[in-house]
Amino acid sequence: GYQIKLETAMALCTPNAKRAALIVVDAQVDFVDEKGSMTTKDARSIIPLINKLKKGVKWTVVVLSQDSHPKDHISFLETHANDPEARETGMKKVGNRVQKLWPTHCVKGSEGEKLYSELKVDPSDVIVKKGEDKNVDCYSAFYDVEHKTSTGLTKILREKRVSDVYVCGLTYDFCVGYTALDAAGDNFNTFVIEDATRGIQDHEINDMKNRLNDGGVSLIHSSVLLSDRKDDMRQKAAEYFEEKRIMPLLQKLTALLVHEKPENPRQFLIEKLKQMKEAKISPEDFSSSLMTDEDLAVVFKTMDVNDRGEISTSQCKQGLLSLGVPEGEISLDMQDKTKMYSVEEFKKMAASGLKTI
């Protein structure tokens, strides 16, 4: 097998090692074409790279988002033509927030709404349209700016058991950035592919980078994803993990530690691995998860510190993460402070999440 340290393998996993989604944000005629109503500088140059990313990585799903606005959308400067202050400032007070105003763009059914012709669209690509409500703007491919309405993208990704999200397209300082922030907010491991996106203004791009950093989003270069697989340490680690069924093994060892609470965990694990080797347990003997009902109940018990027979949302999430369930698989409402979960509910969520590993 490959001689790779466990720490290295876990740190260098790639999209091929996990269930990853590529989100291409708003690669549309009005933003890319030189005759578009809101052409982004140098936007056309990233289309070949996006095509290369789509083809060169084994994605679980590729999502293409599209602005699709009614002709009188609230974000259009022309919608507020009779408001002198809005025309002068390019801003409009809407409820408790200030709406930035733009030239009319991506009107539903128009040429400008279409995906740019040089972008290669595959039958398996998922199209997500946004900004269809004339009364609220929608930068993100996940939610409107008020976070009241979802596009359904989170549900799509969870149904496909996605854990990692990679975002590219237009524009860095608005729709790409807000899409990444919402992905991270929904507990997906999130990355922005910097050389596969373009922005409008440098100072706003820098502001968005700071927000992404604060929001837990990683910034990467496409070369990380497109490097030669033959000598790619990350891919070797991914293949090694899959071949040797490392994650189920780690789950079982974790459960044994919880059960036995040995004084010398290192020596305990070495002995257990020796026993497995002597018993000639092969990867084919591993089920999709080696965690038994009893194992899951023990993990629940460690979270149920007050012995009440139920745990809070945050305790439930902590327990699922400790089992190795990907964050993208955990669909708990972290804002609900009153919801409690029984051991059976916890085991059901754990069993479902562990199927992805």
Q: Are 332 and 311 in contact (CB under 8 A)?
A: no
Distance CA 304, CA 343 (A): 9
Give the full edge-to-edge strand order of the sheet including 164-170.
Answer: 126-130, 61-67, 20-25, 164-170, 189-198, 218-220
Helices (H), the chain: 6-11, 29-32, 47-56, 84-89, 153-159, 177-185, 202-214, 223-226, 233-244, 246-260, 265-278, 293-303, 313-322, 343-354
Distance CA 18, CA 160 (A): 12
Of the residues 13, 138, 168, 175, only one is catalytic, namely: 175
Nearest CA-CA partner of 63 in 183, 149, 200: 183
Q: What interhelical angle do 246-260 and 265-278 show, nearest 10? A: 130
**Residue 144 annotated as catalytic:** no
Q: Are 119 and 24 in contact (CB under 8 A)?
A: yes
**Residue 26 annotated as catalytic:** yes
Of the residues 92, 129, 130, 317, only one is catalytic, namely: 130
Of the residues 13, 18, 26, 236, only one is catalytic, namely: 26
Catalytic residue positions? 26, 130, 175
